[in-house]
Amino acid sequence: VTLFFVSLGMLIVVPTAKVIVAALALSALVVASRFLTVLPMLRVLKLGTRIGVLSSLHLGQISEFGLVIVLLGVGLRHVDAEIVSLIVLVLVLSSTGSTYLIQFSHRIAGLLVRGSETILADRHTKGLTAKVPAEVVLVGFFRLGSSLANDFVRDGADFAVIDFNPV
């Protein structure tokens, strides 16, 4: 594995301004393509806009497999060194950028979902309110929360549940 990356590094030429601009554009295209492919599919699966946006942000990079394909092209003399530099630079930019996209994904998703509510309204989130008129609020409804809810139902207690479950 180490020899692969060393040999790859030996193929990289110093990027020109044209290659840097192309790498920035391709990195932006990679992220945009995730929104054009992942988001609609997750909405079709009724997982909602928020899950679609988060998944698109988390998948916003190219993989090392692209480097393998490019190196095969170099070996067959179909691809020149400038393309190798471009792909490596896109990999570095998209991998570095996706780190920050993942770190701030919930904030970004909140802004994008809030901004797209009129365009991409989710049927299953309409009618939800922020007011919780119950005396007890359960945050989470997995093992402990569901057993507590059963006890509250049995006792006739007034309670509400807040949970995030995309399914």
Q: What is the pLDDT along the chain (167 residues), one digit of tens a residue?
A: 678 777 767 767 788 899 999 999 999 999 999 999 999 998 888 888 888 999 999 999 998 888 889 888 988 999 888 888 899 899 889 989 999 999 999 899 888 888 665 555 555 455 455 566 778 888 888 888 889 999 999 999 888 888 876 55
CB 162 within 8 A of CB 139: yes
**Residue 162's pLDDT is what?**
83
| Beta carbons within 10 angstroms of residue 79's beta carbon | 18
Q: What is the distance between the alpha carbons of residues 154 and 95, in angstroms, rounded to a whole number?
A: 51
What's the rounded Cα separation, in Å, for the pair 128 and 147? 24
